[in-house]
Amino acid sequence: MDQIAENLAVVRRRIADAAHVVGRDPAEVRLLLAVKTQPVDAVRAALDAGADLLGHNRAQELVATGPGLAAPGTPAHEMHFIGHLQSNKVNQVLRWAGCVQTVDTLRLAQRLDAAVARRVAGTENGAGRNGPAVEDDGGASPLDVMVQVNTSGEPTKAGVDPAGAVELASAVGALPHLRLRGFMTIGANSPDVDVVRASYEALAQVRRDVLAGGAPGTGDATELSMGMSGDLEIAVAAGATMVRVGTAVFGARPPV
């Protein structure tokens, strides 16, 4: 598990170096650990080494590891959902995640909004949206969300088209039980650095367009969640405020 602490330090250094190259403050870039397939012990080792932000992309795993990561003595942390969210999993995900980064249709946003509303009304038993450190507040506060944008145009990737992103962000911002925090993308899967960079710059452009549009409920949409183990430097250069890293910290995942 010392290896995890060591890897974490290497990744933090990569983020800091990448920020310095473009004159950014490294503190502007948060590190989210993508913990899919990792046993709770490995995740806890990362938390003990100072990680404070985790992301799950499978609802089933999120629910399975939730109690273990809520156990007494676990360092406080935030949990985000970063995978495709099926509508029948909304309530489970809300129970364990404080932010859903993968809103790419108005329909999903409306389902999330309705689920939070039910919780506010007290008919749903949603708990620790911010991990073990947060008491159940009865669901009075809105759920943080991001709009996922398909900036690469790759048909296998989820996300709203950049051309439709402003409209979706405005519609999400108008929902009373959601708080739009920003935008998320999975970068282009290409060996060509320019192609990858273009996909990250496209997300930064979406944020500019949305903030310039000034629609109600979009003023807090400042986050850019982009960049992974292999390309985080490119994302930081393009303005990432959150990089999502798995293998560079935990090692290669077993094939699923």
Ligand X SMILES: *Cc1c(COP(=O)(O)O)cnc(C)c1O
Please give the residue ranges that form the binding site for ligand X (CB under 6 A). Answer: 34, 36, 57, 82, 186, 228-230, 244-248
Q: In 1-154, which ranges are continuous DSSP H helix?
A: 2-21, 40-48, 59-69, 90-96, 106-120
Whichever of 119 and 244 has its CB closer to ligand X, that residue is 244
Least distance in Å: CB of 211 to ligand X? 24
Least distance in Å: CB of 58 to ligand X? 9
Please give the DSSP secondary-structure letter assigned to residue 94.
Answer: H
Task: Give the C-alpha separation, 60 to 62, whole Å.
Answer: 5
| Cβ neighbours of 19 (radius 10 Å) | 19
| Cβ neighbours of 255 (radius 10 Å) | 5
Select the residue whose beta carbon is closest to ligand X and give its number: 246
Whichever of 42 and 228 has its CB closer to ligand X, that residue is 228
Least distance in Å: CB of 68 to ligand X? 19
Whichever of 200 and 215 has its CB closer to ligand X, that residue is 200
Whichever of 36 and 118 has its CB closer to ligand X, that residue is 36
Least distance in Å: CB of 174 to ligand X? 26
Query: What is the C-alpha radius of gyration for the chain, rounded to an integer number of angstroms?
Result: 17
Q: In 141-214, which ranges are continuous DSSP H helix?
A: 162-173, 193-213
